[in-house]
Chains A and B, each alone.
Chain A
Amino acid sequence: GDSVTQMEGPVTLSEEAFLTINCTYTATGYPSLFWYVQYPGEGLQLLLKATKADDKGSNKGFEATYRKETTSFHLEKGSVQVSDSAVYFCALRRSQGNLIFGKGTKLSVKP
């Protein structure tokens, strides 16, 4: 069945460091892919999306490219800030329309 696997956390970085959070998926066909972010005490918010192969989603300095050959959608940011500390979830949309989420990766950025 469909599934999403993302790297285990927590990830701790210093401010201005480079961030990569790996995400791979298993699915039939070419599902839409998403990254959601959850700040402490809040619900999830959509960070970025890609709806077809080779699409690059981007928002707030974060980027992810839909790679069908490696079934991956890795999240990257060139220079993280303390305010980026949050839990990040990779997700895919099933054919029925509902989402499957990865287990989440907690990011802590130190000043």
Chain B
Amino acid sequence: EAQVTQNPRYLITVTGKKLTVTCSQNMNHEYMSWYRQDPGLGLRQIYYSMNVEVTDKGDVPEGYKVSRKEKRNFPLILESPSPNQTSLYFCASNGAGQGFYEQYFGPGTRLTVT
């Protein structure tokens, strides 16, 4: 089954404690993204990657890091989480090149930083 998986689904942590949210896709997609969803703000892109070792900032990259060492994985790293990073996070992937490619979303990770 084609899917994007994220772990963990729920996470409560404290300010300053480094954490990683993993994302993996099994569709051999080139393009992967991280979004955060906040009430009244919709989805905002944090980082995206167009292929292995190619990443770029989205609209709200501050406080986050990513890496793309393998095509299937795109972890999101919070080196020193703060309460304003409490949010619902989604990973997504899609194919690239000519034509239309549907973007597939993971189930989300709800992060609370106290």
Contacts and interface: CB of A to CB of B under 8 A. Distances in A.
A and B from one complex: yes
A22 B43 CA distance: 18
Number of contact residues on B: which range applies?
20 to 34
Nearest to A105: B42
A71 interface: no
A32 B4 CA distance: 23
Nearest to B58: A98
Nearest to A42: B107
Nearest to B35: A101
Interface string A72-111: 0000000000000000010000000111111110000000
Contacts of B33: 98-99
Contacts, number: 44
Interface centre among A46, A49, A51 (most CB of B within 10 A): A46
User: What DSSP secondary structure best describes chain B's contact surface?
Assistant: strand
B42 A104 contact: yes
A43 B108 contact: yes
Interface stretch (B14-22, B70-78, B97-105): B97-105
15 contacts: A42-B107, A42-B108, A43-B4, A43-B92, A43-B105, A43-B108, A46-B103, A49-B100, A49-B102, A51-B100, A97-B50, A97-B96, A99-B103, A103-B42, A104-B42
Interface of B: 4, 31, 33, 35, 40-45, 48, 50, 58, 90, 92, 96, 100, 102-103, 105-108
